Chains A and B, each alone.
Chain A
Amino acid sequence: MAFTSAVITFPGSNCDRDMAVALEKVSGTAPHRVWHGDSELPDGLDFIAVPGGFSYGDYLRCGAIASRSPIMKAVVAAAERGVPVLGVCNGFQVLTESGLLPGALLRNAGLNFVCREVALEVANAQSLFTSAYEAGQVIRIPVAHHDGNYFADEATLDRLEGEGRVAFRYAEEVNGSARAIAGLLNDAGNVLGMMPHPERAIETTHGGTDGRGLFESAIRGLVGA
């Protein structure tokens, strides 16, 4: 069965092509490309990716303007129906700004733009996006962001941890994120936001293939393998 996916592009997205290539390489089917000004998604989607970049020049707050764009209404509605949604980097910021995920992403604690490969611990290997990994496995995935410092109040953080909604944690200091959160699931488990870029680690020429498991998990979970 074909895997039907879509990659959303906003003005200023710059990882949309990488995301589309990753989805095609791993699933065998090229994703639909959807523009921010569209108000409807293609029918029958198995998976929606909100890619990284600097949507709307990061004006106001990172992801703030993109999260109010026409297509995001459709993405939020699809997520609420249970369609899996992956937001990477700026896509994670868009998902928190749209209310699909709790909390916010603040300026990195060290104030620097961080662009390097980091070690991540798989904190939840039971989710739709992480089942190809082992719990506690340490993987290496690149990050490239200025505003990845995850913030939520203490009660929310306790609840997120208690519910197993932390998918990935930084296994080293990166940006000051609360509880070292690098990737977060919604309560239904069909939305994942993460600052690291799994789409940049799917081929050996990338220097590593640890990101492949995320796409393999989702594809296997959705259409079988």
Chain B
Amino acid sequence: MKVRVHVSLKPGVLDPQGRAIHHSLEGLGFAGVNDVRAGRLFELDVADSVSDEAIDDMCRKLLANMVIENYRIEKVAA
């Protein structure tokens, strides 16, 4: 089973990297970009026997830092 975990900064957490990317997009002449937030994508290949709870636990215990980040789990059809 393929699982994607999307990790993003919580609203209100300053994202200097996103700001720099935003600035660079503007430098390339792309107009109309209001904001950029940088995140992270994990692609996990896990056994079908792994429970949803276990995947959630992986996110909370390691993949995301719950102080500053949110996560979203997406199961991908093989």
Contacts and interface: CB of A to CB of B under 8 A. Distances in A.
Interface of A: 60-61, 64, 68, 96-97, 102-104, 106-111, 149, 151-153, 176
A107 B63 CA distance: 17
B14 interface: yes
Interface of B: 12-14, 16-17, 20, 61-63, 65, 67-68
10 closest A-B pairs by CB: A104-B67, A104-B68, A111-B16, A107-B16, A109-B16, A104-B65, A111-B20, A61-B65, A107-B17, A151-B68
B62 A151 contact: no
Contact of A106 (B12, B14, B20, B62): B14
A96 B13 CA distance: 16
Contacts of A96: 67
- State the majority secondary structure of interface residues on A: loop
26 contacts: A60-B62, A61-B65, A64-B62, A64-B65, A68-B61, A68-B62, A96-B67, A97-B65, A102-B67, A104-B65, A104-B67, A104-B68, A106-B14, A106-B16, A106-B68, A107-B17, A111-B16, A111-B17, A111-B20, A149-B14, A149-B16, A151-B13, A151-B14, A151-B68, A153-B12, A176-B16
Contacts of A104: 65, 67-68
A66 to B, nearest CB: 12
Given A60-B62, A68-B62, A106 B13 contact: yes
B16 A151 contact: no
Nearest to A67: B62
A151 B17 contact: no
Contact of B67 (A60, A68, A152): A152
